[in-house]
Structure 1
């Protein structure tokens, strides 16, 4: 049974569990080997795949030659919900430019974020789509329940480590808090947005200012954030979730700032995973 369980973030709507498992496993194993740590075998790794929970009812087929070709023609005007605007502001804050003082400057915020390429070379409509995926998970209870149900049977008594990237770290936190009977040793979060108030205030259970956050039923929590990563805007989670969180800063490079592949090959992530497998 699987000793390591992986949970992806946004952008996997048209992917498949096998593709995700293969891509992540190669980078995870590379990170362990390059750091001089014992590698894991493919049979010891499982994936929580929830991307197709975001598919429209009755939609058939996969994406075209361009992975973004089937997205609606989103633009900044489609970001009209308070939560979506709050997320846009938080992401744009990390572009290094002056921050507008009101939500009325949506066009300016959006332009700064897209032109900064901090989220890679994704087209503008994909940036809106990414924000809307986070919004839907946090506000659509039916979707959220469907996503969390994907954990059923993946985490077993043999699971020692959960590795979660981006929105996946939010989902992993919700899942671990909901299952105190699981015996997971270590949670490794990569490029996590859990420090953003727009997200932490909508967790299950929510983080309430002035109150202690719930610990996600693990012995150890290792959080890795890249200096350049705009999604992991709050680099240290210990002030919010408890001093036991082990925060590590890394550099992924500007154009791979949020890349899960770059995170998985860092020594900090590799050591967290290896130590969790060894129970250290």
Structure 2
């Protein structure tokens, strides 16, 4: 069974576990080697794949990727798109105009469309086309507020066994990885590593987590877990870059544990992913990620 489980992010509905496994496993091994350690064998790394769950039979990629007029977009998509837009304008002002000076407020579909068009111009979002960004917003909402949470969590939880020591989650996959560990009391995972995570986005993601945060702090994902959060400052998905101060609970009963002053804290690490700030492989090959993975495997 796998010692390391990697959970992918949004927009993988046209892929398959085997298609993602080799490049992801090789990038992960490279990061561990860059950190100066012996890398785990490829057969010890599993790809937790759930992208196909967003692909509806007989339809091109499900409703998340169909051409549409935006009539079914919600305030969730509008607010998150505007936050991404503001972040992109701050990071890349030469190419992205700030929405507060661009007259962005309009009916929801037009606001979202303007936001995503602006985002797609950023040099640091080179893989984020406008349709893909639409899909990102919708998949995140369908997971948090729709009917996708249960099947996605079941798929991921099924790969976390007594042999698993490290779980790595990217983008939406960081939300899935966190919630999966919270739902598995007594698991033996020693390290959670989140990459480009939206977990800290207040009022849109953080408050929608399961289990729900209490007293302003989210539950800790398991006794003995060391959590490293890795972010690129130009990654617009990680709107709140640092997760320290948001999570921490003491005790074995993760969901019901009281918040205490000596609760564990998230260790935040900044990296430089170049122009592909949100890219999973760029995150994995960084030595900070590799060091966190190695530490989890050897604790």
TM-score (norm 1): 0.88
The aligned residue for residue 12 of structure 2 is 12
Partner of 2:34: 34
Aligned pair count reads: 268
Matching residue of 2:285: 265
Matched position secondary structure for 1:201: helix
SS in 2 for 1:46: strand
**Contact 1:166/1:191, CA 8 A, preserved across alignment:** yes
Pairing partner for 2:187 from 156, 167, 182: 182
Name 1:25's counterpart in structure 2: 25
The one of 99, 104, 123 aligned to 2:129: 123
Aligned to 1:48: 48
Q: Deviations over 1:256-276 (max 9, x none)?
A: 100011100111100000000
| Superposed displacement of residue 135, structure 1 | 1.0
Cα distance in 2 between the residues matched to 1:121 and 1:247: 25
What residue is the counterpart of 1:98 in the other structure? 98
2:265 aligns with 244
Structure 2 counterpart SS, 1:270: helix
1:132 corresponds to 2:138: yes
Cα RMSD for the two superposed structures? 2.2
How many Å separate the matches in 2 of 1:78 and 1:29? 44
> Hey, what's the Cα distance between the residues in 2 that align with 1:16 and 1:111?
28
Unmatched 5+ stretches in structure 2: 91-96, 249-263
Q: Which has the higher helix share?
A: 1
Alpha-carbon distance between aligned partners in 2 of 1:246 and 1:152, rounded to the nearest angstrom: 24
**Residues 5 and 155, structure 1, Cα contact 8 Å, conserved in 2:** yes
Say which SS state the counterpart of residue 87 (structure 2) adopts: helix
Task: Report whether the alignment pairs 1:213 with 2:218.
Answer: yes
Deviation at residue 132 of structure 1 after TM alignment:
0.7
1:172 has 2:172 as partner:
no
3-state SS of 2:28 partner: helix
Q: CA deviation at 1:19?
A: 1.3
TM-score, normalised on structure 2? Answer: 0.83
